[in-house]
Amino acid sequence: MEPNKLLKISLATIFTLVTWLTLYHLLQLLTFSTKSDINNNNQNNNNQNNNNNVTINLFTGVPTFDQIKDIFFNSVLISVFIFQHSFMASSGYKSFISSSNFFRPLQRSMYNFFTSLTIEFMISNWQSVNSFIIWDLSKYESNLSTLKTIFLIIILFEFFLFLNFFEFFGISQVWSHCIKNKEYELPIEEKNRLYSIMRHPNTVSLLIIIWFSPIRMTLDLFTVCTFFTFYLLCGNSK
């Protein structure tokens, strides 16, 4: 095999592994929080609403200046992610990458890779605002965990049933280019069918998971939920 093609396959493999690791990390953050985690957070963050006898704990205070600074910093992180995600999905960027014989088959895997890096950067630099609680649904943790699991299964079911798994992660493109010596192309009919099936159910499921993942909704989590709700709805309306 030509060294050039071997390099493409190696890069695509690395990009895919990084993407999978980030997906696993996100799944941990969204679904694997435990009751003990919630209790530990409650013990570490004394606030005026810490009352074990209250079923739904609501907070109506005003954030401090430091909390506002943290929220602004988090908003910048989210904006960086949205910019990267949108820029690499733009027609101008795709046309530029497609003009390169080397990077053309790597376009999808590169998109996933840089999205994963941006997500990990956002997570590692995130400023928690645990002292400002908007609501606390700890007593409903079991019910909410079940709800999240149901909609997560729906997303995974749609993903594996209706999407081309290898195309989504950029594997088919590189395989076709390097092994079959031809450019990979998903038929237009299949694209339209997948688009019509996948778009709305996944958006609804993602929004439910996003909003109900934080059993204890702090100000920073409320910010990220709000940002991504608008982002998903705007993308869904195009």
The answer as to whether 41 is a domain residue is: no
Which of 15-24, 33-42, 148-157, 214-223 reaches the highest mean pLDDT? 15-24
Of residues 56 and 219, more confidence is placed in 219
pLDDT category at 189 given cuts 50, 70, 90 is low
State percent of the chain over pLDDT 90.
24
The answer as to whether 35 is a domain residue is: no
DSSP for the chain, please give it. Answer: --HHHHHHHHHHHHHHHHHHHHHHHHHHHHH---HHHHHHHHHHS--TT--TT-SSEE------HHHHHHHHHHHHHHHHHHHHHHHTTSHHHHHHHHT-TTTGGGHHHHHHHHHHHHHHHHHHT----TT-EEEE-GGGHHHHHHHHHHHHHHHHHHHHHHS-HHHHTTHHHHHHHHTSSS-----HHHHHHHHHHHHHHHHHHHHHHHHHS-SEEEHHHHHHHHHHHHHHHHHHH-
CA atoms 142, 146, 147, 152: torsion sign: positive
The answer as to whether 37 is a domain residue is: no
Query: Which pLDDT does position 72 carry in this prediction?
Result: 94
pLDDT category at 190 given cuts 50, 70, 90 is low
- φ and ψ of 128, to 5 deg: -75, 140
Query: Which pLDDT does position 121 carry in this prediction?
Result: 95
The answer as to whether 121 is a domain residue is: yes
The answer as to whether 50 is a domain residue is: no
pTM score of the predicted model: 0.77
The answer as to whether 95 is a domain residue is: yes
Q: Which domain holds residue 124?
A: 3-28+63-237
Q: Based on the structure, what is the number of domains in the chain? A: 1
13-71 pLDDT per residue, tens: 999 999 999 988 887 776 554 443 444 444 444 444 444 444 555 666 788 889 899 99
The answer as to whether 54 is a domain residue is: no
Give the C-alpha distances (Å, rounded to integers) separating 39 from 141, 148, 170, 210: 12, 20, 41, 21
87-107 pLDDT per residue, tens: 998 889 989 998 888 899 999
The answer as to whether 18 is a domain residue is: yes
Of residues 185 and 21, more confidence is placed in 21
122-137 pLDDT per residue, tens: 999 999 888 888 888 8
Instruction: Please determine, for residue 196, whether its predicted confidence score (pLDDT) is greater than 50.
Output: yes
